[in-house]
Amino acid sequence: MRQVNFQGALQHPLGSGFNATTTATDVINGFDLTGKIVIVTGGNAGIGLETTRVLAAAGATVIVPARDTEKARHNLQGIANVELETMDLVDPESIDTFANRFLASGRPLHLLINNAGIMWVPLRRDRRGIESQLATNYLGQFHVVARLWPALKQAQGARVVNVSSFGHQMAPFNFEDPNFEHREYHTLQGYGQSKTASNLFTVALDQRGQAAGVRAYAVHPGSINGTELGREAPLELFQQMGFCDAQGNILPEVAATLKTIPQGAATTVWCATSPLLDTIGGVYCEDADVAELDKGQLEHRSDDPSTARGVQPYSLDETSAQRLWTLSEQLTGISFAAN
């Protein structure tokens, strides 16, 4: 009998032995990934780059599709077992071209890590009219998985890791107006909605993919120092959240609670490799373990990013997940049965 995580039925920490200070290198210790084929979107910067580095060092062949290939080539310099490709997540034709090229190689895909994302951007829309955070952080994930599905099935035991965020707690998915056409745009609501969508996709994908041997996981990397994720955010936003002083300097007490990039990549690598997850999927993970279901019992403090933990039940809801799947097929024009 298949187990599914709708309503958070499987959202219980497993006692992995890891914690918030664990690094990706700690997690991968002892694993030999020789012969495994991995795709890491956004694998040329931040936690994606660390994910690429660690998996490649363990012997995997890591394919990094990037929008800016020159920047990616520079960042990936010196890392063995890496193949650089071109792809732009907000361009459906670009996704199709990349996926078709990979499928033509005839290789199985053992791990697909949907790491690429944006945050705190002004209102932008892609050429389909889709709000940019939703298009990049979620709809691109759906499109990539759908197009690469034959290779995932071919692996006979693949995993899909969708990098989500605690930010999903900022907003449920708004089915009535997902693209902010009839409501005021708030960038954090757009971000939160896109990450809720990623969680809903993960639990539905795992339910549908089990028969094909494909399991899916959602990841909250943690609040991380030194990434490019907030590069477009206005200083006022960080100040409102209590992260910075009037001069824009990060507060020491806040900095002390942030993860390093190697720590931020740990949960992604754990979800990609841990044998503890061999029979469990559709779960939202953090600190290299399955997260708690947040029923209001967890304290969250804006001045302490380490308290950003737990997963909201609305982002694991079965009705919403299936409704979002149908909407995603409509928005992408892809019929994706995932079986």
Residue of 191, 217, 284, 314 with catalytic role: 191
Side-chain-side CA neighbours of residue 72 (13 Å): 22
Query: Three-class SS of residue 38?
Result: strand
Contacts of 240 (CB under 8 A, 6+ apart): none
Active-site annotation holds for 138: no
Q: Which one-letter DSSP state was computed for residue 244?
A: B
Compute the residue count for the chain: 339
d(CA 48, CA 44): 6
Q: Name the residue among 282, 156, 147, 281 with its Cα closest to residue 212.
A: 156
DSSP string for 296-323: S-S--BTTBGGG---B-GGGG-HHHHHH
Q: Name the residue among 288, 257, 261 with its Cα closest to residue 274.
A: 288
Strands (E), 194-327: 214-220, 284-286, 289-290
Q: Tokens 């902010």 — which residue?
A: 180
d(CA 339, CA 210): 8
Residues belonging to the active site: 191
